[in-house]
Structure 1
């Protein structure tokens, strides 16, 4: 028997964005239904951010055992228990799961329905034997790994980020197709844990990042033993016994024991029946306007499925945007100009706002780029973490972008995210007093570099100083 319910807000998808909306809305007094047919917590908790960072941490500990000689610590070959490393991954997920659980959200007052949702009209969604009529809907179904139809792949054992963390047998030689953030993070984690790794990238590895920053990171990754093959578009994949072979269009051939596909993401819209709701899809997800409303003005789309930047924190930001609109009826628009992101390889890479190339194209001669090397930072020297660089793009005294490669780049970028989000001038960072010695001084020194030619290379300043000294 079909059961019908009415609600203020129906959220489709229990990932980070959907859970943020649900928690905020129900605690502000709205009646909320959350529909999730898969795992609560979505990709980030179960297959993405959390497990990957846990495995990266295991690799970091193994790597540390081999790199102590410059500090007077004798290197030792680590004895890696790959299955135990995966136990660590599982334990980290388990520790976070209660926060994202059905029980917690039901405790907050959310009506959680553990079924997949399908639109049956512009105002109705069916989930199992329940039909939900809602004043507003929020689609937050996220994205999944895209697996291209490479000839032979369907006959070969292969992994994506959705099942690689369940693998208990350590790969002897991991082949990674895709040299983006996911591919490179997992490649470095595995090589540090003792696997051979070959990355096969059809274009340029880390190709969406600032090329100068990417080159610094890739040099380190290659030095650690990762073979990175660029301009290598996979054309055919085969398996004979325990050996997997990837052939590329230019005739190269690569052999390994395991295969990870990390070539991109696709939006999770297949089950939604968007047409019935009058919602227009796009190649990247769902068409939305600046307020994140779809072509059905009762329905919002947030996070990966909205077709923009695919980051957990982006979905969380979207949640705040639509709560203001859906709950309070206030105008609210989303922007990506102030959204930072990081790639958690070693050295880390981070970006907010425009890259140098983007800033030059947009602002031309008005652009100034200031730089500061990690090697000039005392804390970096003390920890032998001198591989790194920061670049800040500035227009009329106001930062419009920052790129960082180096230790703790993901932490350092937050200063520039704050500056850009609040439209502060470079002087706000220059005026900051950072504790010594910290990597945070890198940000201050970069800001100071903006004033160096204005203060120390200015004839006018020198004339003023000489005049004042007469008295």
Structure 2
């Protein structure tokens, strides 16, 4: 084919054959050859002349009224042949979600793979993250619901909470999933798990507890750990992290949570539900500051109604011992305040685990926070070393780590040229009610130059919420003006984490809000809120009958 390469580009916004024709014409005009567009798959395949720039291709599609996503060149790089003279074809430092996605994919392709883990196999999610925390959150919700239900004629009282039994049940779940979803898979797929501390000793070699090992490619997937701010007196007087909190077997009477983003809110509300007096402190001007302002406000109202105290725009200046507990001193708007507590939970973020890996010996660079610097194909400055997941500064979700792990294998071993694409990435805060979002917020859309319209629908307009007698929450949609393409969605409601998936698909495939408004949604489900929020762009849904279209 000479100066041409086979390529595939993701195209959003196509809904019919006419759309495919428009995109085909746009790419041909831009210089692409042998263009084949499939609107149902959301992609265009073509031969890409070297003289045509990527920007020219993308601009042509955008000018035709459609969006572009990942551009992948087929067969651009030579795959690594399995069975090299090295000890392994691929060595992975870490054994969490990214590492296992890597190991499974590479092993299935015939490569010899070794994972190196210095702690528990399974990484953050199954051991000290998603699984154990959500198990405890559910227990907290169950305890709270005993005495706090909205239905007349139903009353009950909670005799007691044996937190040690709750924690034991959580530990049993963790052990079971760690075995079946991680440990057992090594034998199933035929890759090795080496226990010990890994450290680079060269460009393509590491040592594990002093034993040198070589590999054709090496992937860093060591995750991240709780970050602790340098607050005077904090370390001396003791504190909890998102990890150690999960092992508490006694309910603290008074708890301060420093940091009110997702982790802080989830764990703080957990203890609130168990009966603790909880105070949230955050330096930002609102809790969950990366969500829409309407979400932050609504969630703060719920937490306050459940008894929490919230200080935003505040900094903790000192921690000391006194009066049978710990004294947390904070400043807010120039005013000083002291709070007496039994426990302090620090939830101020997580730092990548890159210390003592010998990265400098491999020529691998890190940023100011310690994250491994990678490009959009997850390559480091060393062509033989890749990084994926939390350690590479990615959004800290287990499904992102797994996605990046699989992508890294494709690029590092299989000769692919895949680019990381977080379009429509969903995120969930497992508060009660849940908060779920996808795409971009209103502020992000404006900053990106979009001309937008928004829709905000309170939960009292949604029949399911009325039936539940729980109208705390809202739906917010952000759409592009003119085309109506959904750019972002935010939901605070029961089962928001399930409902958001419909919005994820709409954002990914460029579906306009008019299509959401005219699509069937089952009555008396929270998912119907997405339809009603879409209808709100053009009409007052409060003036519609049930199920009216």
Same fold (TM over 0.5): yes
Deviations 1:134-154 (A, max 9, x none): 111111111100011211122
- 8 A Cα contact 1:291 1:322, kept in partner: yes
Q: State the match for 2:488 in structure 1.
A: 401
Distance 2:197 2:539 in 1: 59
Per-residue deviation at 1:451?
Answer: 4.9
1:357 aligns with 2:439: no
1:286 aligns with 2:372: yes
SS of 1:251's equivalent?
strand
Cα distance change of structure 1 residues 166 and 292 upon mapping to structure 2, 3 Å threshold = same
Matches within 5 A, 1:368-407: 368-395=453-480, 396-407=483-494
Per-residue deviation at 1:431?
Answer: 4.1
Farther-moved stretch of structure 1 (443-452 vs 313-322) = 443-452
- 8 A Cα contact 1:302 1:318, kept in partner: yes
**Structure 2 residue corresponding to 1:367, chosen from 442, 452, 465:** 452
- 8 A Cα contact 1:291 1:334, kept in partner: yes
Deviations 1:412-450 (A, max 9, x none): 111111222233333443343222221111112223334
- 8 A Cα contact 1:65 1:78, kept in partner: no
SS of 1:225's equivalent?
coil
Cα distance change of structure 1 residues 304 and 69 upon mapping to structure 2, 3 Å threshold = closer
Per-residue deviation at 1:71?
Answer: 4.2
- 8 A Cα contact 1:124 1:132, kept in partner: yes
**Structure 1 residue corresponding to 2:408, chosen from 322, 344, 347:** 322
Distance 1:291 1:320 in 2: 11
- 8 A Cα contact 2:434 2:497, kept in partner: yes
Per-residue deviation at 1:241?
Answer: 7.1
Per-residue deviation at 1:301?
Answer: 1.1
**Structure 1 residue corresponding to 2:497, chosen from 410, 419, 422:** 410
Cα distance change of structure 1 residues 376 and 47 upon mapping to structure 2, 3 Å threshold = same
- 8 A Cα contact 2:387 2:408, kept in partner: no
Cα distance change of structure 1 residues 242 and 18 upon mapping to structure 2, 3 Å threshold = farther
Distance 2:202 2:518 in 1: 56
**Count of residue pairs brought into register by the alignment:** 450
1:211 aligns with 2:293: yes
Distance 2:283 2:522 in 1: 44
1:122 aligns with 2:208: no
Q: State the match for 1:299 in structure 2.
A: 385
Deviations 1:358-403 (A, max 9, x none): 1122234x21212333222222211123222111111122111111
Cα distance change of structure 1 residues 31 and 119 upon mapping to structure 2, 3 Å threshold = same
1:333 aligns with 2:413: no
- 8 A Cα contact 1:10 1:138, kept in partner: yes
Per-residue deviation at 1:345?
Answer: 0.7
The runs of 4+ residues in structure 1 deviating greater than 4 Å are: none
- 8 A Cα contact 1:198 1:226, kept in partner: yes
Farther-moved stretch of structure 1 (440-449 vs 386-395) = 440-449
Matches within 5 A, 1:58-137: 58-137=139-218
Per-residue deviation at 1:94?
Answer: 2.0
- Structure ranking higher in helix proportion: 1
Matches within 5 A, 1:448-459: 448-452=535-539
Cα distance change of structure 1 residues 103 and 130 upon mapping to structure 2, 3 Å threshold = farther
Deviations 1:45-99 (A, max 9, x none): 1111111111110111011111235242114234211212212221221221113
Farther-moved stretch of structure 1 (340-349 vs 355-364) = 355-364
Distance 1:187 1:328 in 2: 44
SS of 2:432's equivalent?
coil
- 8 A Cα contact 1:22 1:32, kept in partner: yes
**Structure 2 residue corresponding to 1:309, chosen from 392, 395, 402:** 395
Unaligned runs of 5+ in 1: 457-471
Deviations 1:95-137 (A, max 9, x none): 2111344343133211110112111111001112432211111
Unaligned runs of 5+ in 2: 1-84, 544-549
Cα distance change of structure 1 residues 327 and 423 upon mapping to structure 2, 3 Å threshold = farther
Distance 2:455 2:281 in 1: 34
Q: State the match for 2:45 in structure 1.
A: none
Distance 1:73 1:35 in 2: 54
- 8 A Cα contact 1:66 1:78, kept in partner: no
TM-score, normalised with respect to structure 1: 0.91
Matches within 5 A, 1:212-227: 212-227=294-309
Deviations 1:189-226 (A, max 9, x none): 10111111112222332122211111001100111011
SS of 1:446's equivalent?
helix
TM-score, normalised with respect to structure 2: 0.78
